Amino acid sequence: MNRTGRWPLPGEPRVWLAASGGAIAALLVTVVVLATTRGPAGRTIGLSSGELPTGGAAPVTGPLVDGSTGMDTPDAATPSMPTVAPVEGGVVCPPATVVVSNGESLAIALADAEAGASILMADGLYEGTFVAERPGTADKPIFLCGGSGAVIDGGSVKGGYGMHLDGASYWRLVGFTVRNAQKGVMADKVTFAVIQGLTVERIGDEGIHLRNFSTDNLVIGNTVRRTGERRDKFGEGLYVGSAQSNWCTVSGCLPDRSDRNELRENIISETTAEAVDIKEGTTGGKLIGNAFDGAKLSGSHNDSWVDVKGNKWLIAENIGRNAKQDGFQTHEIVKGWGTGNVFSANTAQVNGPGYGFAFTPVNGNKVSCDNKVTGAAKGFANVKCG
């Protein structure tokens, strides 16, 4: 990851760095508090800004579905058409096969979607909660695209999923806003989907959740903020898998093997629970190049940006600030889980009483010496780097 920065100035905060020989050294140097970083693909990640890049792909057009009749009308009837900006390393929306303008027409388009369809949401308000159940294919995914001015509004933080992919594999959700629902975006039994460039905000519980054997999905370039407005203990930003206590409800009493998911270059702030919660039962995922702000963390257990209870995850090149306790944590909730995770090249501006990295237990987890930690009262980590 390429980081912007400068040499330290006098009076700036102490930095905990790992010495090259593996010992943890408190270096009496100071650094600028990083407000932005660049992910592997070069997209700027800013903790103070939730805006996606401007420009890029030209507007896509297509027939309009009239919500009252279900009949196609000419393009001239299309309301303000958004430009969907591309995300480096993500997908680009193809020309639309159908354009929708309100909640009723969106529900019709989702129900009728066939492999290869491209649904464009015109700018406007889409009231209600929505579900997609018909899968695309590897060579013909289904696109649902819109600008940030296309807003799904669930009506209440006390119930409903703003957008639910229910067995709808090979979908691409791109660019629009989801707000005012109990859960923002939910994926159940979904594979090879892309959730990209969304703004998910004012949510009762978690923002974006992959669960129930949802595997090989990409969550990239999203802004998630103001979660936990119903119950602060459930206000995670990104959530992968299910807690053991929910396996019999969600995954047939089996570990929820929501494996090999990649969460990349997302901006997550104002969450009352962890920015990212990686549950026991999940394996082989990647958390790369994201930005977290934990200033709104609350409750006795919601005390870090990232909580890893799965196995063999790579957590790399992320930047966080303002943790209630530690920056990054691992836990063993179920025997055999919470092990083999690797933490590399992260920047942790903890501003809290704990560590940059806290492994409880250590359990085969590794923190490399290229991580950087500031403002952690207990220091770099509770283990030696290597």
Predicted confidence pLDDT, tens digits, the chain (386 residues) = 433 332 232 233 434 444 433 333 333 222 222 333 333 343 334 343 333 222 333 333 333 443 332 323 333 344 566 766 677 889 999 999 999 999 999 999 999 999 999 999 999 999 999 999 999 999 999 999 999 999 999 999 999 999 999 999 999 999 999 999 999 999 999 999 999 999 999 999 999 999 999 999 999 999 999 999 999 989 999 999 999 999 999 999 999 999 999 999 999 999 999 999 999 999 999 999 999 999 999 976 789 999 999 999 999 999 999 999 999 999 999 999 999 999 999 999 999 999 999 999 999 999 999 999 999 999 999 999 99
Cα–Cα distance, 179 to 171 (Å, whole number): 20
Residues 6 or more apart in contact with residue 110 via CB below 8 angstroms:
119, 130, 131, 132, 144
How is the beta sheet containing 124-127 ordered, strand by strand? 24-30, 14-18, 372-376, 347-352, 319-321, 291-293, 267-269, 223-225, 199-203, 177-181, 150-153, 124-127
Q: What is the pLDDT of residue 79?
A: 54
Instruction: Determine whether domain 14-381 maps to CATH 2.160.20.10.
Output: yes
Strands 72-73 vs 64-65: parallel, antiparallel or unpaired: antiparallel
Distances in Å between the alpha carbon of 246 and those of 76, 242, 312, 373? 49, 6, 22, 34
Distance CA 26, CA 56 (A): 44
* pLDDT attached to residue 301: 74
User: Residue 294 CB: number of other CB atoms within 10 A?
Assistant: 30
Per-residue model confidence (pLDDT) at position 322: 96
SS3 201: strand
What is the pLDDT, as a whole number, of residue 86? Answer: 73
Q: Return d(Cα 341, Cα 31) in angstroms, integer.
A: 28
Question: In whole angstroms, what is the distance from residue 355 CA to residue 377 CA?
Answer: 7
Of 352, 360, 359, 357, nearest in space to 376 by CA: 352
Which residue type, as a one-letter code, is found at position 153?
A: D
75 φ/ψ angles, rounded to the nearest 5 degrees: -55, -30
Q: How many CA atoms lie within 13 A of 28 on its CB side?
A: 0
The pLDDT value given to residue 247: 96
Per-residue model confidence (pLDDT) at position 80: 65
The predicted structure's pLDDT at residue 88? 81
Name the burial class of residue 130, with classes exposed (0-12), middle (13-18) and buried (19+) by CB atoms within 10 angstroms of its CB. buried
Per-residue pLDDT at 350: 97
Residues 204 and 229 sit within 8 Å (Cβ to Cβ): yes
